[in-house]
Structure 1
Amino acid sequence: MKFSRLLSVLPLLFLAGCNMVVMAPSGDIAVQQRDLIVISTVLMLLIIIPVIFLTLLFAWRYRHSNTAATYAPEWHHSTRLEIVIWAAPLAIIIALGAVTWISTHKLDPYRPLDRLDAARAIPADTKPLTVEVVALDWKWLFFYPELGIATVNELAAPVDMPINFKITASSVMNSFYIPALAGQIYAMPGMETKLHAVINKEGEYEGFSANYSGSGFSHMRFKFHGLTREGFDAWVAKVKEQGTMLNRDAYLKLEKPSEKEPVRYYAGADADLYDAILNMCATPGKMCMNEMMHIDMTGGGGKESAENRDKLQYDNRHADEGIVAPAATVPATGAPARSEPAKSSDGNSMQHDMPGMQGMPGMDMQHDGHSMPGMNNGADPAPAQLNNNN
């Protein structure tokens, strides 16, 4: 008897060593996410528990050995039972959907905070702390652009101060996650995601990558310190005192894959280094992604050269025939422009009159009402000259 009791208590002993940080967070966003989990679970249990209970009850009540139970093999319908079966789950689904819809918008990671916690709004003169996060292989790099410092595998923020995270990655996708602060947000190369959060209690919290990214993934962890304003100022002073300079060369060395990277401090960092990492051009001489996209948006690299080349080829091709390209032959859009119809040697105009091909020079032409297909075949942007010997 004592042995069976010990076995029943054993699972609780194992659970005692677990840190249920998700259910006991220290940041307001994580608290609201915890509440959403609890509400959703309770709503679903409202139907799950009765179903389990009734399943066991029916199995016992209508067992084969219970001859006192009602036996109705021809029974097939009950309106009252159908109403209960369908109305209860429908009500729960509606309630769950409403809660989820509201929470999805309210807890949008891109949405700036509107409160410090359930009882306090953000003071009007509060300036958020901006932190730029870079997921490297296999470590975390944090920039504090307003303070001019950077750290590796250590993050700190004052209690009750909104934090604006800007998150990206250098090579592969990771997931930035501090369970006590807020939910996980993906870090992707060439893209920037955002997270707004606040820590409400002092303490040291665990942060890590929640997305597998290679052999060093299990050690891709960091410490997040929730500090008082005075404690945060002292931490910043320590970083500036002990740190070195993070320039392009130092970053390129840091970017190389490494495991179990120790905490590092940088007293200063290149002002444009995070933007270079985000645009995948930290390596000197490499074109930045935003520059490349700007070129694509304006029509692509070398477009003007290509237009000039096409015009030159056209002029050379027709130089022996004495044909001069119309001024609008090569417009800014790169497409041949429609010019006036060409004239034959007797001055009669030749009009393009092929069904469905109007406005396309060089296709089938008519002269004196006679169709002349295939004279140009669409190869040249201007119609060819013809001699009329009729």
Structure 2
Amino acid sequence: MADRAVRDAPLSRPWAWPMAATCLLLAGCTARQGDFLHPQGPVAAEELHLLVLTVLWMLIVVVPVLVLTPLLAWHFRRGNSRATYRPQWEFSFWLEILVWGVPVLVVLVLGVLAWTQTRRLDPYRPIASRSVPLKVRVIGMDWKWLFIYPGQHVASVNELVLPVGRPVQLSMTSSTVMQALFLPSLAGQIYAMPGMRTRLNLLAARTGRSFGENTQYNGMGFQDQRFPVRTVSPLQFHVWVEKLRSSGQMLGSVQYAQLSRPSVLARPESFGAVEPGLFRAVIARSCPSCAARLRERPASAPDKDDHG
């Protein structure tokens, strides 16, 4: 009876262990809202569309290889007497066309897609809209992100709040080493470097909650440099700004010096007022000539209203 019970146990069957291992591996493959498979804006949607097209075109080469390899091995096995044996065969014009022509066609198509879509998805390219873009200044630190809203004169740390339906222009720099801002559900990734300013244009098409993070390793707190991204209605965004203003906390050079020390924050912080020129001052510390060029920008420059 005991031997029979062991034989009838679920994991004693030959297929049980492979199935259990498969279930264990798939347990962590749950879909997560806010990743690149759930775009919340037109830029991320275009990037996902480009990814799907690229994968489908590459499958034209991959799928026949995966299918034909076992079929050919089975057909030309030693025990198959119906397989034609041709020891003198060395060339087939149509086979050469198929083997080389299809990959060349796929490479040409992928090249055209990469060229056209890269220009179309240029992160510096403004998004066409009748609304005035919301400007956000982003400073990467160890190990946190500072977001300054110069038009609203407020700032937040490790929390990015954006209104739906309004273009957003992110201007980024780093106060330490090179970092990479990654917003998978909104606009992908772009680098932030000390002494330089990079830009990223995006637009949130619907309300929701996602995440952003740093994908460039920068030390022991790298794994914790993640923050929530909330896309809200224009009214909710206005309420959020007024809430920050009512806090009365000022972000000046002294507060920034304390904030920029390497640390991991337990919760997001906010400031109801920001010292003018703070963003440019951060750039000036790493690149004085860059800050001088920013000060010398003509009045017609896109950032003429930049007080951050």
TM normalised by structure 2 equals 0.85
Alpha-carbon contact 1:133-1:166 (below 8 Å) kept: yes
Paired position in structure 1 for 2:301: none
- Residue in 1 that maps onto 2:69: 55
Aligned residue in 2 for 1:139: 144
Q: Counterpart amino acid of 2:136?
A: V
What is the one-letter code of the residue matched to 2:163?
Answer: P
User: Which residue of structure 2 aligns with residue 67 of structure 1?
Assistant: 81
3-state secondary structure, aligned to 1:253: helix
Shift of 1:17: 5.7
**What corresponds to 2:59 in structure 1?**
45
Question: What's the counterpart of residue 3 of structure 2?
Answer: none
CA distance in 2, matches of 1:292, 1:226: 35
Aligned AA (2:110) = L
Aligned to 2:108: 94
| Aligned residue number for residue 169 of structure 1 | 174
Alpha-carbon distance in structure 1 between the residues aligned to 2:266 and 2:22:
42
8 Å CA contact 1:220–1:260 kept in 2: the answer is no
> Is this contact kept in 2: 1:280–1:289, CA < 8 A?
no
CA distance in 1, matches of 2:292, 2:163: 39
User: Is it true that 1:127 corresponds to 2:136 in the alignment?
Assistant: no
Report the equivalent of 2:273. Answer: 268
Q: Is the 8 A contact 1:243 1:264 kept in 2?
A: no
1:257 equivalenced with 2:271 (yes/no): no
Residue 243 of structure 1 and its aligned partner are, at CA, apart by: 4.2
The aligned amino acid for 1:42 is: L
Q: Which residue is 1:229 aligned to?
A: 234
- 1:247: which partner in 2? 252
Give 1:42 shift.
0.4
More RCO (CA 8 Å, sep 6+): 2
| Selected match of 1:195 from 175, 196, 200 | 200
Larger radius of gyration between Structure 1 and Structure 2? 1
User: Could you say if the C-alpha distance between residues 58 and 288 of structure 1 is closer, same or farther in structure 2, counting changes exceeding 3 Å?
Assistant: same
Runs of 4+, deviation exceeding 6 Å: 291-294
2:114 paired with 1:109: no
Unaligned runs of 5+ in 1: 115-121, 282-286, 295-390
SS of residue paired to 1:189: coil
Match for residue 185 of structure 1 among 182, 190, 194: 190
- Structure whose residues are more often helix by fraction: 2
Distance 1:17-1:92 versus aligned 2 partners, 3 A rule: closer
- Give the alignment's Cα RMSD to 1 decimal: 2.0
Q: Distance in 1 between matches of 2:234 and 2:152?
A: 14
**Aligned with residue 29 of structure 1, among 43, 47, 56:** 43
Cα 1:98–1:158 shift into 2, 3 Å = same
Match of 1:218 in 2: 223
Residues in 2 aligned to 1:291 and 1:235: alpha-carbon distance in whole angstroms: 31
d(CA) in 2 for partners of 1:280, 1:62: 70
- In 1, are the aligned partners of 2:179 and 2:217 still within 8 Å (CA)? yes
Q: Structure 1, residues 34-55: CA drift from partner, whole Å, max 9, x if none?
A: 1111100000001110112111
**Cα distance in 2, alignment partners of residues 111 and 99 from structure 1:** 18
Deviation at 1:8? 4.9
Sort the Cα spacing of 1:73 and 1:243 in 2 relative to 1 into closer, same or farther, 3 A: farther
Shift of 1:18: 5.0
Using a 3 Å threshold, how does the CA distance of structure 1 residues 254 and 14 change in structure 2: closer, same or farther? closer
Query: Mind listing any 5+ residue stretches in structure 2 that lack a counterpart?
Result: 1-12, 295-308
Shift of 1:262: 2.6
Identity of aligned residues (%): 35
Are 1:288 and 2:288 matched, yes or no? yes
Whichever residue aligns with residue 268 of structure 2, its letter is V
**1:192-232 CA deviation, whole Å, 9 max, x = no partner?**
00000011111121111111101111111111110001110
| Contact 2:196–2:290 under 8 Å retained in 1 | no
Q: Give the SS at the match of 1:280.
A: helix
CA offsets 1:36-92 (integer angstroms, 9 cap, x no match): 111000000011101121111111111111121000011000111111111111111
Q: Distance in 2 between matches of 1:291 and 1:153?
A: 25
Counting matched residue pairs gives 280
Classify the secondary structure of the residue corresponding to 1:74.
coil
Superposed displacement of residue 13, structure 1: 3.8
Whether 1:155 aligns to 2:160 is: yes
Structure 1 CA distance for aligned equivalents of residues 51 and 102 of structure 2: 21
Secondary structure in structure 1 of the residue aligned to 2:276: coil
Please give the alpha-carbon distance, in whole angstroms, between the structure 1 residues aligned to 2:26 and 2:267. Answer: 35
Output one character per residue of 1:227-282: Cα deviation in whole Å (capped at 9) or x when no partner. Answer: 0011101110111112401111111111111123531111111111111111217x
Q: Give the whole-Å Cα distance in 1 for the aligned partners of 2:32 and 2:291.
A: 49
Letter in 2 for 1:37: L
Answer with 34-43 or 51-60: which moved more: 51-60
